[in-house]
Amino acid sequence: MTRDEVLAIFHRTHSLLEGHFQLTSGLHSSQYFQCAKVLQYPRYAELLCTEIANHFAGAGIDAVMAPALGGIVVGQEVCRLLALRGGAAGLRMMFAERKDGVMQLRRGFELKRGERVLVCEDVVTTGGSTAEVIKIVRAAGAEVIGAACIVDRNGGKVRFDVPPDSQFAVLRLEVVASPPDNCPLCMKKIPVDKPGSRANA
């Protein structure tokens, strides 16, 4: 898919919001990609996640892992598509979630040593959640095959500890994000919206 085609989907589903937003990272921005509004439509979820599945098809992935909450639908759809492309017999999708502020595996999810894992996310800004999941995978003795997302809103500036061709975004663009104490929108006293799941927790 082209950049314009992906952006058209976000505009069609009213998922690219304009205003003053606090991102999950804590940074402030005038734009917010509400991937949940796109992913509520199975046909759009399949279109976007097909780009990820195609990129990693044939990589011998045993498991897909995502950070909760935003990455769960992406991870599940990518895992389904990989399975349709002849994925490993035991291919499964798991998610990590925060407990007492720490990202961890819960709900009986387990990784086996040597398993090949793809980490998936919906939107990457600072990359913190993806980096935490990568650490969980490696701590279990599994291998991180790649890191993928629907939207990389930092223009590829955040690099994860994976080979360059193993870091993939369906849409990559640079959207300005500022710390709250240096936010031009805050300086103008424009009320801030906190649409992210962690911000509303």
Report the C-alpha gap between 179 and 58 in whole angstroms. Answer: 40
- pTM beyond 0.85: yes
Report the C-alpha gap between 61 and 85 in whole angstroms. Answer: 11
Q: Which of 110, 107, 129 is nearest to 63 (CA)?
A: 110
pLDDT at 77: 97
pLDDT at 197: 54
pLDDT tens, N- to C-terminus, the chain (201 residues)? 999 999 999 999 999 988 999 987 888 988 888 999 999 999 999 999 999 999 999 899 999 999 998 899 999 999 999 999 887 788 999 999 999 988 999 999 999 999 999 999 999 988 999 999 999 999 999 999 999 999 998 888 889 989 888 999 999 988 888 999 999 999 999 999 988 655 443
Q: What is the CATH number of domain 42-174?
A: 3.40.50.2020
Q: Where are the domains of the chain?
A: 42-174
Q: Which of 73, 49, 62 is nearest to 116 (CA)?
A: 62
pLDDT at 196: 67
